[in-house]
Structure 1
Amino acid sequence: MSEVTINQPYGTPTWIDLGVADLERAKSFYGALFGWTYEERSSATGPFTMCLLRGRRVAAFRPRSAADPDGESWWQMYVAADDCDATAERITAGGGTVLQQPKDIGTLCRTAVVEDPVGARFSLWQGRALAGCEYVNEPGTLVRNDLATSAPEPARGFYADTFDFTLDGNKDLPDFDFTFLRRPDGHEIGGVFGDPGAAASRWRTTFEVDGTDEAAARAVAAGGTASEPTDAPYGRMADITDPFGTAFGVITRLPAGRAAAEGE
């Protein structure tokens, strides 16, 4: 178990949410898949639903809005920012775009929606009352995010310059164009995957599960789809698509992969 009670270091993926058109169906699907329960909340920006694991906040659902691209759905990644406004300016200076200016979400956080130079959207999270996901790196919670893009070089340069990440090759996957992104303290926060066939640049979320085959079966039974689980260097993985077309990954990590992700 990895419990988070304070704001994560700058640039760390720290929160996720999903825009949904059918809240009850989303609650049913993810409840069956991850065992989540829910808490309805509201702020000056509108209603939202907290996703809970053992009573702790691990994600959120929000109503889909005009800001969500038509025909697409994906888990939105938020990265930790000590100063949301200053980070938004740094993103613009690095060639990115601020799509929604910094604003407060009640007392929870200050946030902004941004886009990198290759078109991948993500958000910023300056934690206040909520540091971010209160559990990570355990079954039913966020374990990693990776960027898939057909333009990996400008993406790598942008994230290294904007968030002070170092870039590190992956000897375990020599046939793939994959680069680890690491904080200055050496902690891996995700990676950039160069995919010439990527139709759009997107950050992809992966959740930890206790049994990939079982999770894939639960996803299908709850109305989603799942790829055939496969073994990879860091664990057993499957691709899941929820009833809204949202694609994400699940993994049951091997001990070595678990230690690497948690900085042990």
Structure 2
Amino acid sequence: MEKNETRGKGEVTSHSVFGAPCWVSLATRDLEGAEEFYQAVFGWKWRPNSLGDRFRVALADGVPVAGIAAVASMWQMAVAWTVYFAVDSADDAAARCRERGGTTAVGPLALPPGRAALLADRDGAVFGIWEGPLITDWEEWRAAAPTFIRLHTRDAFDAAIFYGEVLEWAAARPGCCEVHYDGDEVVLRSSQVVIARIHSGAVEAAPDPTIRPHWQIHFTVDDVTACVLAARAHGGSVLQWEEGAGEAVLADPDGARFTVTARQRER
């Protein structure tokens, strides 16, 4: 990957990391409740966002790592975590999505200092795109946010083609993401680092019609058990976990699902 270019102090263009996940954001109904819950689970601190009173930015050791927006009711959106991918042009990426059978839920619209859109692939999995300066340097964000994403879908190969064309994976220019197979999954790499996986079971198996396609966001943590206990104590739910296991699927009090994974655990 090319060294990130800057547009000014503290602003990193999405163009140098195009196609890669660059941010995660939670759509919720209860801003204060979400702040309290995620501070308890992850130790995040909060700062206002320039977009208004309904928005907050989460800080991990002072580094911006995620966004929270109390817009689920206002915009008639599902309460959920969404991953955003960096693109050169939000308009072009949204058009490529529609041309390939996906849909546009919101945008593209101006969210200074950039432009964003909320899209869905042709199987209904929701994802976002972001054009413009990144809130945090990409490498710094990846180290501090410790975010990893996996698409659970009915046909990994078909999904990889869709996202590859929409987000320009494996493009013939520096900075693009590389796509490979690793066992039963399609793997997305940037500078040889795994940044996302697409999973649908065995590659040779028929698509599973029971899977509800979605992007699952994983946060790597030092202590999975502590996160599970904090989630329970603050109104969240434990959807999948065995005591002592290095991974747990949780839901916040508003129902948004996410996964916590032990930091030392290999993916």
TM-score by length of 2: 0.78
| Equivalent position of 2:118 in the other structure | 113
> 221-230 vs 200-209, which deviates more?
221-230
Correspondent of 1:152 among 127, 143, 156: 156
Partner of 2:241: 228
The letter for the 2-side match of 1:37 is: K
Give the structure 2 partner of residue 10 of structure 1: 18
- 5+ residue gaps, structure 2, are 5-9, 171-177, 202-207
When residues 167 and 209 of structure 1 are mapped into structure 2, their CA distance, relative to the original with a 3 A threshold, is same
Residues 117 and 154, structure 1, Cα contact 8 Å, conserved in 2: no
Select between 11-20 and 88-97 the one with higher mean Cα deviation: 88-97
The alpha carbon displacement at 1:43 in A equals 2.7
Give the secondary structure class of the aligned counterpart of 1:75.
Answer: strand
Question: Secondary structure of the equivalent of 1:21?
Answer: coil
Name the SS of the counterpart of 1:191 in structure 2.
strand
Match of 2:173 in 1: none
Q: How does 1:27-106 map to 2 (within 5 A)?
A: 27-43=35-51, 47-63=54-70, 64-65=72-73, 67-69=75-77, 72-106=78-112
Aligned partners of 2:26 and 2:81 also within 8 Å: yes
Unaligned runs of 5+ in 1: 172-176, 258-264
Are 2:21 and 2:86, in contact at CA under 8 Å, matched by a contact in 1?
yes
Instruction: State the alpha-carbon separation in 2 of the partners of residues 188 and 205 from structure 1.
Output: 14
Match for residue 22 of structure 1?
30
Are 1:237 and 2:247 matched, yes or no? Answer: yes
Partner Cα separation in structure 2 for residue 198 and residue 131 of structure 1: 37
Contact between 1:148 and 1:198, CA under 8 Å: does it hold in 2?
Answer: no
Counterparts of 1:213 and 1:245, CA distance in 2: 20
Q: Deviations over 1:65-93 (max 9, x none)?
A: 45444xx4320110011222222222223
Which one of the candidate residues 135, 147, 164 is aligned to 1:143?
A: 147
Question: Is 1:178 aligned to residue 188 of structure 2?
Answer: no
- Higher alpha-carbon deviation: 58-67 or 8-17: 58-67
Aligned to 1:216: 228
Moved more, 201-210 or 185-194: 185-194
- CA deviations on 1:154-184 (whole Å, 9 max, x unpaired) are 212112223224442324xxxxx4221235x
Pair 1:205–1:153, CA change in 2 (3 A): same
Q: Which residue of 2 aligns with 1:191?
A: 197
Which segment is superposed worse, 123-132 or 96-105? 123-132
Q: TM-score, normalised by structure 1?
A: 0.79
Name the count of aligned residue pairs: 239
Q: Could you tell me which residue of structure 1 aligns to residue 205 of structure 2?
A: none
Mapped contact 2:25–2:67 kept (Cα < 8 A): yes
Report if aligned partners of 1:230, 1:238 keep a CA contact under 8 Å in 2.
Answer: no
CA distance in 2, matches of 1:68, 1:142: 29
Matched letter for residue 118 of structure 1: D
Match of residue 261 from structure 1: none
Contact 1:212 1:229 in 2 (8 A): no
| Residue number among 247, 254, 260 corresponding to 2:264 in the alignment | 254
Distance, in Å, in 2 between the alignment partners of 1:76 and 1:255 is 23
Report the CA distance shift for 1:230/1:127 in structure 2 as closer, same or farther (over 3 A): farther
Mapped contact 1:10–1:79 kept (Cα < 8 A):
yes
